[in-house]
Structures are given as C-alpha cells and as structure tokens.
Amino acid sequence: MDYQQKISVPMSLPDITDEERAAVAQVMATNYLSMGPWVQAFEQAFRDFTGAKHAIAVNSGTAGLHLCVRAAGWSDGDRVITTPFSFVSSTNVLLYERITPIFVDAEPVTGNIDTVQLKAAVEDLNRSEASAAKWLPPKGDHKGELKGIIAVDVFGQPADYDTIKEIAAPYNMPVIEDSCEALGAMYKNRPAGLLGDMGVFAFYPNKQITTAEGGLVVTNDDKAASIIRSLRNQGRAEGDTWLAHTYLGYNYRMDEMSAALGTIQMKRIEELIRKRAQVAEWYREELSDIDEIELPHTAASTTRDSWFVYVIRVKDADRRDEVSQKLKALGIPVRPYFSPIHLQPYMQEKFGYEPGRFPVTEDLGRRGLAIPFSGKMTREQIAQVGSSLRQIF
C-alpha cells in the first residue's frame, strides 16, 4: 500500500456563507451581545420549523437535556431508562441530578433503543424489586422509582416513539427526546424533537446547523417551558428582577452572536439537509460494492433521514482498528462511533459495568467507524474515501 499518497478530507466542516458572517458582525456592532433580539428570532425560527409551541435556546445540547431533566421533576435516587449507545450527555444529565440511569440495549439495525427490551424493562421495574434487579447497575444501591425515559435519535434517525410513548403511557412517565443529532428528521412524517414530551437539538459545528456552541429545547408543554426558561436564566421566574432568583438555576443562555449565526443557518436548513443527503447518497453509490463493510440503514418509520454522521460498520470487528489506522495513514480521518457509555471509565468505576452487559451496543461500538462527513464534501472526496477503503480491503 502506498502510504505516501496523502489525501486530505476533513472529518466535518460547517457550512457558513457571507450572510452568516454579516449577521454575526452586525451583532458585534451593537451593544446587545446577550439577551437581545437574535435569540428571539432563533427561537421563532424553530417554532416555525417544527411547529412546536415553545422553543428555548440554550448554550449547548447538554444544557438543554439537563433542563429537561429538571423540568421533568426527576431527582435524587429516581430511576430513568436510557440507552448506552449514545453520546455521553444523554446519561450524564441524569448523573448531574443523582438519578440512576437504567440502560436498555440498542437494536442492531439503527442503533436506537430496543423497544422490545424497553417494554420488558418498564414492566419489570414496575412489578417488584426482584424482577427489577436484572436491569439495575451491578454496583451500588439503586432503590428508587422508575420515573421516565430519555430516548436518543441516533445518527439522525428518530427512535420508535409511537412504541416508546405507548410503553410509557400507562405509568404517566415523561419521555425526553435527545434529538441532538436529528434536526430536520421526520418520523412517520412528524418532526424530530416533538416526538416525546420535550426534545433537544444541538448545534456544535459538525451538526446540521451550527451556532458554534448551542442547543435548543422544543416542547408543547407550557409548564415545562416556563421552568426551562427560568432555569436557563439563573432561576429567575417571570417578573423576577436581575438579582431575584425564585429557583436554583444555571447560566445556560445562548449569546446573540450564536443566535445570529443560527438564525441565518435556519433560513438555509432545507438546503443544508439536502446537501448532506446528497453526500450520503454518493457514499452509498461509492461504497455499496465493498463486501467487508455494512452501510447505514434507514428505518421504514424514518420518513426523512437527517444525516448527521456517516457510520460504516466493519463486518469483522477484529479488523476495525486496522482499517481505522490505515485510513488515517491515507489521510482519511475516522472515528470509532459511539463508544459505549457503560464502558466509559467513570461509568465502570461508579456502576461496576463490565464488557458483555449490553452486547448490541458493544458490537456496534466495536465495528462502527464514522468516516468524513459534511454537506460540503465533493463527489471527488467521496471517491477518495471509497478508493482508500477498496485499497485496504
């Protein structure tokens, strides 16, 4: 193999035009760098785009998820079900509130939470402590009531919310939708973000739209929206003066530069999603004849896939790291994706998890490789990735 032939394809790239640059520059020329009109315009853009009654901008997806957990009223010792096949934030926000995350494994096709196992877990956890035991973390004392579910829309595809909500309904449990990777996706023609009781988007530069750092909560629930608005702003309730704080809150506010950038990005959302879908289609054309890898699968319920990353699976798990190293040597950056949450060092330390506990998540984690992806990739770059993979196999 010719390792000398270096080709450079960025892992991801934000798609920024002069209009975004001008909007940010315009903010800089005013005295309103925070709590001004752009955050309101950004929130309006999300109400228009998703049809949500409330949209609340925050300074990261993690902050948005944390506020949803607070608005759900979950706290110390409660049990909440989530998935180990995700970015760490969807579990961390539970740990911030000393809630026990109860993991349910992923299903192997999309990587979203397995609803057959979810149903069994919800029933077992509500039946008796003896039947609950098999779902609890191996280490620690985890007494508490099951209070809700955080589902994750993995890689831009919504989880199966009709089933998830049907499972949660008899117990009146709120469902939080971590849609940080799925802005613009459609589930049975309904927009991602509004599929649970509260939904969260994120805008790091590799996302469908970016605000540099940022996030946003959407919900139709008036009470939750009011709590989230207050807590993002240091716990000031409506009518509180600057130094009055009705609740324990945070500074999770989005700034005006980010909101200006995001508002212009939202004007281009359809174009941005379309460009990413085109790149995903080019990858399919380019890579579908390589027998050693599996390509992403779009579920029938996903009536619009909003491509966030392009994750291939190396069929032979033992070869994944070799493939990864060789691609890197050829100038193609790649990332193992996701790395199972339950096997992160702090999770193993706190909860005593060992490999083998969530076999689907671990298998996807061992075989998954995110390859370069953004709406700015050219057909030529896709061909470079394809020929590098062919060269390796």
Ligand X SMILES: Cc1ncc(COP(=O)(O)O)c(C=O)c1O
* Those residues with Cβ within 8 angstroms of residue 193's Cβ, 6 or more apart along the chain or in another chain: 50, 52, 177, 179, 182, 183, 199, 200, 201, 218
Distances (CA, A) of 390 to 289, 290, 382, 383: 9, 7, 12, 10
By CB under 6 A, is residue 256 in contact with ligand X?
no
Per the listing, tokens 């061992």 go with 366
Question: Contact with ligand X (CB under 6 A): which of 12, 50, 60, 117?
Answer: 60
By CB under 6 A, is residue 86 in contact with ligand X?
yes
Question: Contact with ligand X (CB under 6 A): which of 50, 83, 90, 306?
Answer: 90
By CB under 6 A, is residue 181 in contact with ligand X?
yes
CA angle 238, 244, 248 (to 5 degrees): 85
Amino acid letter for position 380 = E
Q: How far is the CB of 192 from ligand X (least distance, A)?
A: 12
Please identify the residue of the shown chain whose CB is closest to the bound ligand X.
61
By CB under 6 A, is residue 204 in contact with ligand X?
yes
By CB under 6 A, is residue 177 in contact with ligand X?
no
Distances (CA, A) of 255 to 36, 55, 73, 214, 322: 8, 15, 27, 9, 43
Question: Contact with ligand X (CB under 6 A): which of 67, 68, 202, 225?
Answer: 202
Q: Among residues 87 and 353, whose Cβ is nearest to ligand X? A: 87
3-state SS class at 58: strand
Q: Are strands 293-294 and 310-314 parallel, antiparallel or unpaired?
A: antiparallel
Question: Contact with ligand X (CB under 6 A): which of 178, 255, 256, 286?
Answer: 178
Per the listing, tokens 């939202």 go with 266
By CB under 6 A, is residue 89 in contact with ligand X?
yes
Backbone angles phi, psi at 54, to 5 degrees: -125, 140
By CB under 6 A, is residue 91 in contact with ligand X?
no
Q: Which residues partner with 164 through β-bridges?
A: none
Using CB under 6 A, which of the segments 83-91, 119-127, 264-272, 316-324 binds ligand X? Answer: 83-91
Q: How far is the CB of 338 from ligand X (least distance, A)?
A: 8
Q: How far is the CB of 154 from ligand X (least distance, A)?
A: 7
Using CB under 6 A, which of the segments 173-181, 259-267, 295-303, 345-353 binds ligand X? Answer: 173-181
Q: How far is the CB of 243 from ligand X (least distance, A)?
A: 28
Q: How far is the CB of 62 from ligand X (least distance, A)?
A: 3
Residue of 259, 213, 231, 233 whose CA lies nearest to 39: 259
Residue of 310, 370, 297, 315 whose CA lies nearest to 338: 370
Cβ-contact 214, 203 below 8 angstroms: yes
In sign, the C-alpha dihedral spanning 88, 365, 191, 278 is positive
Q: How far is the CB of 261 from ligand X (least distance, A)?
A: 14
Per the listing, tokens 């390796």 go with 392
Using CB under 6 A, which of the segments 134-142, 176-184, 278-286, 313-321 binds ligand X? Answer: 176-184
By CB under 6 A, is residue 87 in contact with ligand X?
yes
Contact characters 9-48, ligand X, x per CB under 6 A: ----------------------------------------
Cβ-contact 64, 285 below 8 angstroms: no
Question: Contact with ligand X (CB under 6 A): which of 45, 149, 152, 370?
Answer: 152
Q: Among residues 61 and 372, whose Cβ is nearest to ligand X? A: 61
Using CB under 6 A, which of the segments 31-39, 59-67, 115-123, 242-250 binds ligand X? Answer: 59-67
Number of residues that this document lists for the chain: 393
Using CB under 6 A, which of the segments 86-94, 266-274, 324-332, 341-349 binds ligand X? Answer: 86-94
Q: Are strands 293-294 and 190-191 parallel, antiparallel or unpaired?
A: unpaired
- Give the residue ranges of DSSP H helices in the chain: 18-28, 37-50, 61-72, 89-96, 115-127, 129-132, 161-168, 222-232, 256-267, 269-287, 320-329, 345-351, 359-367, 379-392
Using CB under 6 A, which of the segments 55-63, 136-144, 353-361, 373-381 binds ligand X? Answer: 55-63
Q: How far is the CB of 224 from ligand X (least distance, A)?
A: 18
By CB under 6 A, the count of residues binding ligand X is: 14
By CB under 6 A, is residue 62 in contact with ligand X?
yes
By CB under 6 A, is residue 61 in contact with ligand X?
yes
The residues of the shown chain that bind ligand X, judged by CB under 6 A, are 60-62, 86-87, 89-90, 152, 178, 180-181, 202, 204, 215
